[in-house]
Amino acid sequence: MFIDLDCRFDILRLSKMLKHRINGQSNGSIKKIDQEHMDFDLWNNDTKKNPTYDEELYSLCMRRFLFIRCYDSFQFLATLKTLHYRIQKEQELHGISVHILMIDGIGAFHWIDRASTFMPLGATNRKTPSLQTVSETVVQEIRKLLLLHPMLVIATKATIFGDRYSMTETKRNLGKLDASNSRSISSTSLQLPYREYMPSVWQTFVTHRVLVGASDDPLIRTNDSDRSLYFSEWLLPPQSFVDKFIVKEAGVFMVP
């Protein structure tokens, strides 16, 4: 299940990559996806040229992908409160169980909620919840959901470094974590100040933290084009190594 909070998720892109993946598996090797003259025209969605393409498998995979988009904190909280019944309905209708909950952009409404706390309500009588109240409710609802449906919860959050840098911090939320309000992040070539802006109730809920960002290293030359190099670093629990990878149409590939 995927909850999109920053409205940047591209479903069409997911569909194309899934077809690319299925086509590579059906040919027995992912490497065949990179052939310049392959019969499968991914970008035109022309699957008739490739008799090995499995449309039924593609449809099955897409049915198992549950997507929800929220545009403010009220919609997000309403979604979390009704998620148990939504999952139950999917299980009854399609026999689908949810094993991973992905929350993309957990801090998407942070600054809006923070600003609205100090703004007059105007003509509306609806009480604006405080930033702390929203975070407490989010954590509470996720905890309740995990009791009924044990699953892996992953959340992404934009992270601000200094005045110019912005990267994506991926958080896997499985339980409790003691975290300070500020820390320094270090990698092989990165020494930038980092300040956690999410409320403490969210920070104490996170147990694992991974920093993902673009590397300063040169582009990687592949058989078809130059690829940007990315890195991932475990911040919690801290690890002494940094993984590097590139992103291609067939998926993510580690770089030694």
What are the extents of the domains in the chain?
Answer: 2-255
What Cα–Cα distance (Å) separates residue 123 from each residue in 72, 120, 126, 129? Answer: 19, 9, 9, 16
Task: Return the CATH fold of 2-255.
Answer: Rossmann fold (3.40.50)
**Strand 251-255 to strand 226-227: parallel, antiparallel, or no bridges (unpaired)?**
unpaired
The pLDDT profile of the chain, 256 residues, written as one tens digit per residue, is 999 999 999 999 899 888 888 887 655 443 443 443 333 344 444 444 454 568 899 998 998 999 999 999 999 999 999 999 999 998 998 888 899 999 999 999 988 888 876 666 554 555 667 888 999 999 999 999 999 999 999 999 987 765 444 444 444 443 333 333 333 334 444 455 567 889 999 999 999 999 898 887 767 766 666 788 899 999 889 998 899 998 887 778 888 8
Which tokens belong to 196? 């956690």
d(CA 19, CA 250): 9
Which stretches of 30-181 are assigned E, i.e. beta strand? Answer: 67-69, 100-104, 152-161, 165-173
Task: Name the region of 160 (left: φ>0; alpha: ψ -120 to 50; beta: rest).
Answer: beta
AA identity, residue 200: S
pTM value > 0.85: no
